[in-house]
Structure 1
Amino acid sequence: MAAAASQPRVMVLPLPAQGHVIPLMELSHRLVEHGFEIDFVNTEFNHGRVLGALAEKGAVPGGLHMLSIPDGLGPADDHTDIGALVKGLPTAMSGRLEEMIRSRKTKWMVADVSMSWALPLATAAGVRVALFCTYSAAAFKLRMNLPKLIEDGVLDENGNVMRHERVQLMPPVNAAEIPWVSLGSTPERRRTNIQNVLKTNRLMPLAETIICNTFMEMEPDALALLPNALSLGPLVATTSRPAGHFLPQDLACLTWLDRHAPGSVVYVAFGSSGVLDATRFQELADGLALSGRPFLWVVRPNFTTGVEEDWFDVFKRRVDGTGLVVGWAPQQRVLSHPSVACFVSHCGWNSTMEAMLHGVPFLCWPYFADQFCNQSYVCNVWGTGVKLCRDERGVVTKEEIESKIARLLGEDEIKARAATWKHKACASITKGGSSYQNLLKLVNLLREQ
């Protein structure tokens, strides 16, 4: 559909991380389908990665304009270090972003909540803003409640846990598992996280609405506490179109899946940013082998540290015929494949939504940020998965992995609940569903001048 002259040009601004680019790219596709011109702004580093991963010609539709801005880091710097990026992005991007807004006559911006520093800049330029939440509505509400948790003495202003207790929100989490606490690998980074949230929370009233990648039936209690939120999820790309991945996908794994019986394969993937040390990695490998089940395991570059290449080569030869290891998988197509029985996951929000959409039960292995909240949802609220427990060293052992795989695949009630949630998720995004209706509300809002 051609863009009408009266329709505004919408700028989309994601945090430069894989889990943030993917859902905002899917939202952009849906807005293009409604006739909008979308300016999708990546950092230069991620712009090149996204375009490089789009193997097929014509993957970027007309109406979606891929733009880029420097991130302020040098050629020798680690552009995947989100902590370093977040600290320098406002200074590095603000001037160029303001120029882009004015030159492209932007009327609306959809800004990642993790890029909230851009709200004053946008509103000063006369741009109306919709915030996009890349985590659950519950995690967003938890973010807004951080000042109260500090006031109540659960945390201090540096992100240190003062009272080790269960925070009774939806879903409940331990104080140490609050996203901006668990994300801090050092005291300084934890303090930076908390202070950044406290600062940017004060900017939230500049946004006219909050777009949430969830659906009403999934988080009714949390969404009831966010009266200006529009739940549009699951924002999951169709299997036929690109989703903004940074790495090329190994499509050969789909042929491998075709050779396996329905509900037989264990799918293992830990997202784009987490890292396992040698001990945890080797325990995972041995646990998968011990299970005796066919498995598809995504081991992206830099996923582990300290594992000898010779050891891993021996492991792959040992499981040849049973397990397949790939560098990056087309996750949508994998989760929708009938041979997949369960998903060993870090419980990132995108992966959580994707598995819910396809009715795949979880084995939960979170390690930072909102992943613990998502695990609590999966295990304590929705009942669609099982928690993998760590030993006294903080390690998930091969025996634990073997045991929980066997338990999950024998739990018919969990499978039934996962199938029920698949039906609800699909219904929400079809015509007349809650997310479908909210998308139309967003479209009408963005058409306002």
Structure 2
Amino acid sequence: MEHQLASQEWRPHVLAVPFPAQGHVMPLMKLCRKIADQGIKVTFVNAEHIHAKVLAAMSDEDKNQHCIELTSIPDGLQTEEDRKKGLIESLRRTIPRNLTRLIEKINCENSDEKISCVIADTTLIGWIHDVSQKMEAELVAFQPGAAADIALILQIPKLIQDGNLDTNGFVMKNDFINLSNEMPPWRRNELPWIVSSDLKDQKIVFECCQIAQQAVHQYTKWLLCNTFYELESSACNLIPNFCPVGPLFCSKISKSPASSGSILAEDTTCLSWLDKQKIGSVIYVSFGSLAILSQDQLNEIALALELSDRPFLWVVRSNLANKNGFLARVAERAKIVEWAPQEQVLSHSSIGCFVSHCGWNSTMEGLSMGVPFLCWPYFLDQFHNQNYICDMWKIGLRLNIDENGLRSSHEIKRKIEMLFADNSIKANALKLKDMARKSVSESGSSLQNFETFIDHLKK
């Protein structure tokens, strides 16, 4: 009888560990809220500086309604400047020790709710598998980006063996890597480990990808991803134990509260402003949480938006200088915010196009809402996402760089006009929206995958 009572009181407990960046925290947070909605306990572990930002960005209502436990561990660094230079190296040193201590503390405090599963970001999983084994918790991988990118990473040993890559991640044969005719190829400067022109940085990130490849291959039976099978079937078919559970939403078509784990406070005044605009008329401009643009480039964007004669919502993370009276001239048809509730913005009927850096979260959100793209990739996987958007799915256009290294006001204005006039792009965007919604609806592929995973956790 006592044994039977103990088994009834036990419930699974998931520990989730994202890489400390906005584009990694948000999708894993959305997944964890869905898991917690199924009665499973979830503890979400951010690096301390990210944890503080997430809490600061949450409303009091979200804090009260939050269905998962939020906690943190140190990343071993003191300043943002230190993180720019040495985050990956510091995480490699500190995560195993700090995560072990945290799990021991959690398990000691409640023996009926010990950590039974660790969901680790693929970027970190190579440094976490020993911890999960030691703590007797199942290790599950989570890929916050496209299936195509993890498919490429898992092919690294073969690509090196076949002479397509050298040991530093440089392309050796041809000018691109192609895994399938049904996927866009990666050009030599579009590989996900090309973070900058600094060869030392590239080597560190490439080694991180190799470690992730080994850990995913050897230690995980589940690889969850914020995509859906119908969107990336060719990439999905290349990956063992692959489990697409996207698109992951936090509002509108989700039962969870609106908070998404954003590290920046969302300015919701833009929603009432959108209510006043005509259907399909607004240009939404957002370059994510990391892109940095020169003042010259900001001026070109401002001029293009002014000349477009269309209403626009522009996310600018720091104060936009009021150069040449720009704000005064466009005040009647412009809204500028430091951060926006993007899912709600993109789902608004007034949005007509999305000028985007093509991060995977933004890509999934935009296509799930049926919004055409103007593509402005900044780094990492964003260039390959652009290739998907423009070449494979045909739901957007590229913004090309001129001889001065800028996307000119003329180019931006011309592509805005082209996009608003192209009915085929709009039609393709609506088809993908329907496909995305079906994947997370009853009997949809992603919902079935998620339910199978939940059943596994509860056994």
Query: Does TM-score exceed 0.5, indicating one fold?
Result: yes
CA distance 1:80–1:106, change in 2 (3 Å): same
Q: Work out whether 1:372 is the aligned partner of 2:383.
A: yes
- Secondary structure at 2:332 match in 1: coil
Larger displacement relative to structure 2 (326-335 or 4-13): 4-13
State the 1:162 CA deviation: 4.0
Larger displacement relative to structure 2 (57-66 or 327-336): 57-66
Q: In structure 2, what is the Cα distance between the partners aligned to 1:443 and 1:124?
A: 23
Letter in 2 for 1:55: S
1:30 is matched with 34
Q: In structure 2, what is the Cα distance between the partners aligned to 1:99 and 1:224?
A: 38
State the 1:47 CA deviation: 0.9
- Secondary structure at 2:52 match in 1: helix
State the 1:70 CA deviation: 1.0
Q: In structure 1, what is the Cα distance between the partners aligned to 2:18 and 2:305?
A: 35
1:329 is matched with 340
CA distance 1:138–1:58, change in 2 (3 Å): closer
- Secondary structure at 1:121 match in 2: helix
Larger displacement relative to structure 2 (85-94 or 289-298): 85-94
Larger displacement relative to structure 2 (183-192 or 26-35): 183-192
Larger displacement relative to structure 2 (367-376 or 195-204): 195-204
Q: In structure 2, what is the Cα distance between the partners aligned to 1:254 and 1:69?
A: 35
Over the matched positions of the two proteins, sequence identity in percent amounts to 39
Q: In structure 2, what is the Cα distance between the partners aligned to 1:232 and 1:173?
A: 25
When normalised by structure 2's length, the TM-score is 0.91
Q: Which residue of 186, 196, 201 corresponds with 1:189?
A: 201
- What whole-Å deviation, never above 9, does each CA across 1:375-415 have from its counterpart, x for those lacking one? 11111111111111111333211111000000000000110
2:318 is matched with 301
- What whole-Å deviation, never above 9, does each CA across 1:96-134 have from its counterpart, x for those lacking one? 210222232211001000111111221232111110001
2:451 is matched with 440
1:127 is matched with 137
1:220 is matched with 233
1:78 is matched with 81
2:260 is matched with 243
Q: In structure 1, what is the Cα distance between the partners aligned to 2:441 and 2:267?
A: 30
Letter in 2 for 1:49: K
CA distance 1:63–1:331, change in 2 (3 Å): closer
Residues 311-350 of structure 1 aligned to structure 2 (within 5 Å) = 311=323, 314-350=325-361
Contact 2:76–2:90 (CA under 8 A) maintained in structure 1: yes
CA distance 1:80–1:431, change in 2 (3 Å): farther
- What whole-Å deviation, never above 9, does each CA across 1:346-389 have from its counterpart, x for those lacking one? 00000001011110010011121111111111111111111111
Letter in 2 for 1:18: Q
> Any gaps of 5 or more consecutive residues in structure 2?
1-6, 107-113
Letter in 1 for 2:210: L
Contact 2:62–2:259 (CA under 8 A) maintained in structure 1: no
Larger displacement relative to structure 2 (189-198 or 358-367): 189-198
Q: Which residue of 208, 211, 222 corresponds with 2:221?
A: 208
CA distance 1:310–1:245, change in 2 (3 Å): same
Q: In structure 2, what is the Cα distance between the partners aligned to 1:419 and 1:333?
A: 17
- Secondary structure at 1:176 match in 2: coil
Q: Which residue of 104, 109, 119 corresponds with 2:118?
A: 109
Q: Which residue of 138, 148, 153 corresponds with 1:138?
A: 148
Q: Which residue of 51, 62, 75 corresponds with 2:55?
A: 51
Contact 2:62–2:258 (CA under 8 A) maintained in structure 1: no
Q: In structure 1, what is the Cα distance between the partners aligned to 2:299 and 2:189?
A: 26
1:199 is matched with 211
CA distance 1:241–1:62, change in 2 (3 Å): closer
State the 1:144 CA deviation: 1.5
Letter in 2 for 1:284: I
Q: In structure 1, what is the Cα distance between the partners aligned to 2:333 and 2:24?
A: 33
Misfit runs of 4+, over 6 Å: none
State the 1:146 CA deviation: 2.5
- Secondary structure at 1:110 match in 2: strand
Q: In structure 1, what is the Cα distance between the partners aligned to 2:62 and 2:313?
A: 30
| Paired residue total | 437
Q: In structure 2, what is the Cα distance between the partners aligned to 1:66 and 1:404?
A: 43
- Secondary structure at 1:97 match in 2: helix
